[in-house]
Amino acid sequence: MSGKRINREKKTIQKMVHLYAHSHPEADTDYYQQLINYAYNRLDKCRYGEDKPACKQCPIHCYQPAKRETMKQIMRWAGPRMLIYHPILAIRHLIDDKKPVPPLPEKKRTIRSTEK
């Protein structure tokens, strides 16, 4: 289950992609929805969880390179427009972007049957 911060990130991504898609129609009608679903999946699996930094500040780049470039392009285009259409989300995103990156959480170690 996602927390407050992750849900806000999901909502922000969804709004940004919808703004971009409205002005940049894609031949494949599911293209933008697949991109949103991919972003949601990455957010759900973020190692930082609720303490996550803004994606561009994060030392772990969990997006595939092509999708990462696509999201950068969408965010560059939609970011300024978010201030007009979704100002609260845009301001919260800008504030999150200025927060320092927390230390990397330690990966949970699983005990293998040979280590017992």
Residue whose C-alpha is closest to residue 73's, from 65, 83, 61, 84 = 65
Task: Report pLDDT digits (tens) over 29-59.
Answer: 799 999 999 999 999 999 888 888 888 888 8
Contact between 52 and 9 (Cβ < 8 Å): yes
Query: Would the pTM of this model clear 0.85, i.e. be above it?
Result: no
Task: Report pLDDT digits (tens) over 18-34.
Answer: 999 999 988 787 999 99
